[in-house]
A and B are shown apart, each in its own frame.
Chain A
């Protein structure tokens, strides 16, 4: 089995790290080797966040090099564009269509590209954009965007949907279980 490379991108505070944890735990539960890695420290302060999950029979490096990702999961369109070059030719992009202003845009120092989705479609034909915020809100919590995104990509991953659901059940806090499971299902249906 060759190594399956997943890159998850987003904005600090969106729950990129928890989504990564779900995928990594699911790989372990499925009997595969896995390495998961992100850089945190400043992750909660609205900065750009990128996380790697690598799944295979034996995984060495925790790092995905540009041009080698099988899938890019982006929680925000601008971040999808920023990390697009991590995809290998023919790699899959699934992104949340809801934009979040970087501080530079919020301060009026830069413009958010108004054609961000057109740029994505041009560079990555077949990219799938979903309205994860609306699905999360429908599931009961706007913060469940991360679980919606996990739900949306499971069918593209070498992971078992039932195992992923069990992992989400295990890592959710009591009150969050139902919301997270609804978000997961909502994402899968998107």
Chain B
């Protein structure tokens, strides 16, 4: 039956329909819904790993044990999983293994827009690049076949517009899962140098075989049309190309690594102008130019940054685009912000007030960097808050006269890769205040389970990690549990932590109000007491607003939005705010 589903949902559905038995991943936009959907569909084992390296390694184990395996992650997750990937490419698979990676051109929800096609080239493995939900579904099945036929891990790459766009999918016949014999093959799976030397030769031979396969596979398709313009493209760019130039000839790649050299040479030879449309890096173009093939339009005209669309492609092709009205200028921005009721608001209003240096991390709390909080000064990657704060503190001590830095990290990010940073802070006699905002979920990606939430992806109860005990075991003596909703108490704890030399850890344990649907009594303003001083607006809460357009308007609270965290109440110096009766 036809369904309208996203690329992520299609991959999840196809994994179950294509004999998949084990799936693991770490949440990351835009990949997250894939594993959630595997869990929702049921019938296949799936789990969240604490990070992407663990996810891929567990999937590798599943493959060695003979089960078709899937690992899911966002593009930057592959950086974390690169260690197992770069050697697993040598060993190859027992049962098929697909590494699904979701790129985010345009950085809708990411810290960079690295192009994962580089990883397929780097690891010398095949990569598939679906162009819609149906292909996302189909390519999982092809992917397992290719992985097993060529004894290789395979990358299935999506971009945000494939992962999240919904299109019509017609599922295929279900293949029942089969578990092969456990592989006991020492020279193939134990990568001691002498065995690895043999495997590297196998990897190079495999790549040549895959190049031959690329020439004939229906995954790479020529749509011969008008020969004035011929466009080589893949993924969602194919769809934009079809909109921009419906009459052009197209070479659409489904297998984007390795490239079909003969097919490309032949296609380029048959068209008058040869154009390459690829989002982000010039990966096709560099390889195609190295083949000695003439490229008329490529990255000289198609931007390296951000997404492409039909207008960008027509402009690159030297053609007119329809110019609509100009966007309305100077509108107030509407950036995402802490949810009304979120405990992060309390902490960040204090960090902002005291103007401490905050080494931040990846999560909802990164929003603390935005105005009016402006309370984050560095944020690089998952787990960097603590390790970067450690380096900052060492240099601060050398410079002298500088304050102790503060690291802020969430529970899921701490489990992901903050623990080792804290270990270093402890071991290397560091000097930072670390605040762990433990809301019992992976919040920014929509509230996924983690080792602290007491539940696994498939719903069963699980051990809840005791973060305080874990921190102590790493050698940190000063560990204090705080309640970030209570500003006075939290301010005192921050002050103590800043004044005490050495590592100092504060842990806030308030559940994510969005994930756990926490409802608190709303706040009302007493207009007789409100002086219009705007101290409460420092809470940066969208429930707060000014009552009118007068010179000194009073503040009002929108009861439909307020979730009663009480931070504004505590910021008010005139006792004008209170819980609604």
Contacts and interface: CB of A to CB of B under 8 A. Distances in A.
A60 B309 CA distance: 11
A106 B541 contact: yes
Given A41-B108, A46-B337, A61-B309, A105 B545 contact: yes
A78 B335 CA distance: 13
A175 B332 CA distance: 37
B334 A44 contact: no
Contacts of B540: 103, 106-107
A104 B370 CA distance: 10
A36 B446 CA distance: 20
A190 B427 CA distance: 67
Contact of A39 (B109, B323, B534): B109
A61 B109 CA distance: 21
A144 B373 CA distance: 32
A53 B367 CA distance: 29
Given A24-B166, A113-B331, A42 B336 contact: yes
Contact of A66 (B108, B165, B324): B324
A128 interface: no
B505 interface: no
Nearest to A43: B336
A63 B240 contact: yes
B336 A12 contact: yes
Interface string B354-376: 00000000001001001110000
Contacts of B160: 39
Contact of A78 (B236, B334, B446): B334
A41 B29 contact: yes
A65 B336 contact: no
Given A61-B310, A107-B371, A28 B337 contact: no
Interface in B211-247: 236, 238-240, 242-243
Nearest to B161: A62
Nearest to B324: A67
A38 B438 CA distance: 30
Interface string A129-147: 0000100000000100000
A110 B309 contact: no
B550 interface: no
Interface string B155-198: 00000110011111000000000000000000000000000000
B161 A24 contact: no
Interface in B315-343: 322-328, 331-340
A111 interface: yes
Contacts of A67: 322-325
A68 B324 contact: yes
A119 interface: yes
A41 B445 contact: yes
Contacts of B309: 61, 63, 65
Nearest to B238: A60
Contacts of A110: 332-333
A87 interface: yes
B484 interface: no
Interface string B119-161: 0000000000000100000000000000000000000000011
Contacts of A106: 537, 540-545
Contact of B242 (A61, A102, A108): A61
A48 B166 CA distance: 20
B428 interface: no
B106 to A, nearest CB: 8
Nearest to A47: B336
A114 interface: yes
A97 to B, nearest CB: 15
B129 to A, nearest CB: 15
Interface residues of A, number: 59
Contacts of A109: 371-372
Contacts of A33: 168
A128 to B, nearest CB: 18
Interface in A60-94: 60-63, 65-68, 78-79, 81-82, 84-89
A47 B339 CA distance: 10
A142 B160 CA distance: 31
A87 B324 contact: yes
Contacts of B460: none
Of A68, A86, A101, chain B has the most CB atoms within 10 Å of the CB of A101
A139 B236 CA distance: 40
B4 A107 contact: no
Interface string A34-62: 11111111101111100000000001111
B109 A41 contact: yes
A181 interface: no
B328 A46 contact: no
A48 B242 CA distance: 29
Interface string A117-132: 0010001000000000
A102 B543 CA distance: 9
B444 interface: yes
A47 B168 contact: no
A49 B545 CA distance: 21
A100 interface: yes
Contacts of B518: none
Given A66-B324, A67-B322, A106-B540, A45 B339 contact: yes
A102 B333 contact: yes
B4 A46 contact: no
B239 A60 contact: yes
A111 B182 CA distance: 65
A142 B560 CA distance: 8
A40 B29 contact: yes
A11 B238 CA distance: 31
Closest 5 CB pairs of A and B: A67-B324, A41-B109, A47-B336, A41-B29, A62-B165
28 contacts: A35-B165, A36-B167, A37-B164, A37-B166, A38-B164, A40-B164, A41-B30, A42-B108, A42-B336, A42-B444, A44-B514, A45-B338, A46-B542, A48-B334, A61-B239, A62-B165, A62-B167, A78-B331, A82-B328, A84-B327, A85-B325, A88-B324, A100-B542, A101-B544, A101-B558, A103-B542, A104-B333, A112-B332
Interface of B: 2-4, 29-30, 108-109, 132, 160-161, 164-168, 236, 238-240, 242-243, 307, 309-311, 322-328, 331-340, 364, 367, 370-372, 444-446, 514, 534, 537-538, 540-546, 549, 558, 560-561
Interface of A: 11-12, 21, 24-25, 28, 33-42, 44-48, 59-63, 65-68, 78-79, 81-82, 84-89, 100-114, 119, 123, 133, 142
Given A61-B309, A85-B324, 15 more contacts: A21-B166, A34-B166, A36-B165, A41-B445, A60-B239, A61-B242, A62-B239, A63-B309, A63-B310, A67-B325, A86-B324, A101-B542, A106-B542, A107-B371, A133-B560
